[in-house]
Structure 1
Amino acid sequence: MNSVDAAGLGIGDEHPPRIMGVLNVSEESPYDPSVFDDPSEAARYVDADLIDEGADIVDIGLESANKRFDVLSADEELERLHIALETIESVSGDAIFSIETRYAEVADEALSQGFDMVNDICGFADPEMPTICEEHDVAVAKMASPPDIERPGVIEETDWAARKSPDWAADADYVDQVYEALKQNGLTDKTIIDPAFGGWSEAQTLEDDRETFRRLRELRALDRPMLVSINRKNFLGEIAGRETDERLPVSLAATSMAVERGAHVIRTHDVAETRDAALIGKAFTERASASVDGITISRLDVNSTREFRLQLRERGIDPAFADDWGTQLLEVEGLDTDASEQLISIAADHGAVVQRTSDGRLLLMGSTTAVSDVSGRLNGKSGSLDGLGEKLSKLLR
């Protein structure tokens, strides 16, 4: 994992999870505890409710993310920047200050006058953004987004057939699109990736967010630290049947899981509670690395064949190797005697092995290629084998 130095703050596997608190200086935003237009009041909030509560980073936004409002131009953001700058000058606590903007021009001005990093919600849609961040040698959070400076996060509305290829677009699911969106326009050495949770467009569904969260580890193949913004999000609230003001418990549960799955920065309005949940997630995360005499060995996250393939692909290695070297161990129960014997025979024909457990279940073992071949042979079988091949195929993805 390529760790990032954000103005002296280490972000990556070997560092504690970092908490990003939120401050908005938007005139359009409806009432919210984090919205201010007076620098003195904003500074007091940052000190008391963000830094004192455990925020490592303070992310300052100049405009509302509410889609009801028009997108501000770079000039309009620059007119508001003075409020943010006066705020950070008045803050007494110690934190890294991040400017949330989609414009390289705004980022350049903010970084020149006291900001430490950038949070780009349009994923380098402004082609000058990575250059500006590299010139200032700063960390930059890059949110998965289409190449459109006015439409952050609308991944599914991207013309992937033209941008990637018709074949790729036909087969790609939502998380595949997030992964490619994070890669488009490149990554700086200090990029922190953000998979863009939340309702950024009508096309983005709650199931899209849930699937992204399930497969969060796959994004580690990009070899960059990860930021997630899941605080009180709808995809969590729907699971528990909770409205926004009742979603703190589900947000904290998800925070621990996100850290365990690879998140390094958690963006939140509930700083103290989120910090504690992130530390729990970190304490029970198993990632191993060792160094001796200048040599470092790290165990990569390959908890599924898909993750194995991604890690190989990003390193320029044929991902098909994952099918031959990745070992599958699957338990099958509920087959009758005849179906069990058929499965044992089919497995043996394709280089896989089936063993019976003491309580009558079956263990199917073999390489991904072997088990995939078994699943193919099972398709169309009748009796209790009906549908087993399709289920096996889904588990191997």
Structure 2
Amino acid sequence: MPPLNSKDKLFHKKSTLNCCGNILSLSTPQVMGILNITPDSFYAGSRLSSTAEAVARAEAMLTDGADMLDIGGYSSRPGADDVSEQEELDRVVPVIEAIHNALPEAILSIDTFRANVAAAAVHAGAAIVNDISGGNLDEAMFGTVAKLQVPYILMHMRGTPQTMTTLAKYDDVATEVIDELQVQVAKLQRLGVKDIILDPGFGFAKSIEHNFELLRRMDELRILGLPILAGLSRKSMVYKSLGINQADALTGTIAVNTIALMKGADILRVHDVKETKQTIQLYTKTLL
């Protein structure tokens, strides 16, 4: 990994996000609630089939303490079917508009790897772009985010949701993930993107063993001096390791999220907001 430009990055991490004028503090860990506007997301309990249902779920998550909501219309589970750009737009834009109108104080994120979807979502009321591909599936994404000037979640993945399982090959998974993220961070910074959040991409082009190695060494991401998001909620590394199904994976999710907090996670992306807020509340008491 090439050396960083400033030693300061080893010790100081950006602690706020400018979400379209709404300044979000990361002085304590934040919770991102998941809203899947898809019929095939990997966790059936997160699927929403109508705009009204999405608004109701959004309100419930905010009541439970969600700091932001992540809205996606393209399932990124391994082997998921491809969805056209127009269908993705048709799924997410009306939902974002409806939530923004009903809950104008809510900070909304669009979960997409397509620049056009990101732009349409921001114009509809989203204030964060969450890109599972880290800019690798749409060459226009970085320029679009720079123009929009919204926080960008840069996730590590190789290939596509349809091919990523064949690309889970690493000599040193943590080092290679950091190296590949750093290349993309440099591109974004050259374009003037000010708020970048790193996501190591648990479950994306990584085996269960890779995921646990990444979790164990997630604090090494701090070298890049940027906020860190952990997306571990009810993933296969949890339920397959425990020999249970996704519906019973809440306890395991809390366990790995607690480890992520100890390793420096600033944002936890989850299906279960109330339980995660309680976890953070107890975790922060150990920091006093």
Instruction: Report sequence identity in percent.
Output: 30
| Cα distance in 2 for residues equivalent to 1:232 and 1:151 | 18
Q: In structure 2, what is the equivalent of residue 3 of structure 1?
A: 15
By how many angstroms is 1:152 displaced?
8.2
| Alignment partner of 1:183 is 2:182 | yes
Three-state SS of the structure 2 residue aligned to 1:19 is strand
Which residue is 2:7 aligned to? Answer: none
Q: How many residues align?
A: 267
CA deviation string 1:358-395 (max 9, x = no partner): xxxxxxxxxxxxxxxxxxxxxxxxxxxxxxxxxxxxxx
What is the correspondence of 1:1-397 to structure 2 with a 5 Å cutoff? 1-7=13-19, 8-12=22-26, 15-29=27-41, 32-48=44-60, 50-92=61-103, 94-125=105-136, 126-146=138-158, 148=159, 150-151=160-161, 154=164, 157=167, 172-186=171-185, 187=188, 188-198=193-203, 200-201=204-205, 204-285=206-287
**TM-score with structure 1 length normalisation?**
0.61
Q: Offset at 1:183?
A: 1.9
Residue of structure 1 in register with 2:5 after alignment: none
Distance 2:198 2:68 in 1: 16
Cα deviation digits, residues 108-129 of structure 1 (max 9, x gap): 1111221111110001112322
CA displacement at 1:158 relative to structure 2: 8.1
Q: Rg larger in 1 or in 2?
A: 1
- Whether the aligned pair in 1 keeps the contact of 2:32 and 2:66 (CA below 8 Å) is yes
Cα RMSD (Å): 2.6
SS of 1:185's equivalent in the other structure is helix
Q: Hey, what's the Cα distance between the residues in 1 that align with 2:162 and 2:263?
A: 24
| CA positional deviation for 1:73 | 3.3
How far off its partner does 1:93 sit?
A: 6.9
Structure 2 spans left out of the alignment, 5+ residues: 1-12
Classify 1:237/1:158 alpha carbon distance in 2 versus 1 (closer, same or farther; 3 Å): closer
Q: Alpha carbons of 1:111 and 1:93: their partners in 2 closer, same or farther (altered >3 Å)?
A: closer
Structure 1, unaligned runs of 5 or more: 160-168, 287-397
Q: Structure 1: which amino acid aligns with 2:84?
A: S
Q: 1:30 to 1:91 in 2, by over 3 A?
A: farther
| Matched residue type, 2:164 | V
User: Does the 8 Å contact 1:38/1:83 carry over to 2?
Assistant: no
Partner of 1:384: none
- 1:85 & 1:127 partners in 2: Cα distance? 24
Q: Which has the higher relative contact order, 1 or 2, with Cα contacts under 8 A spaced 6 or more apart?
A: 2
Measured in 2, the distance between the counterparts of 1:116 and 1:263 equals 21
Distance 1:158 1:185, change over 3 A: farther
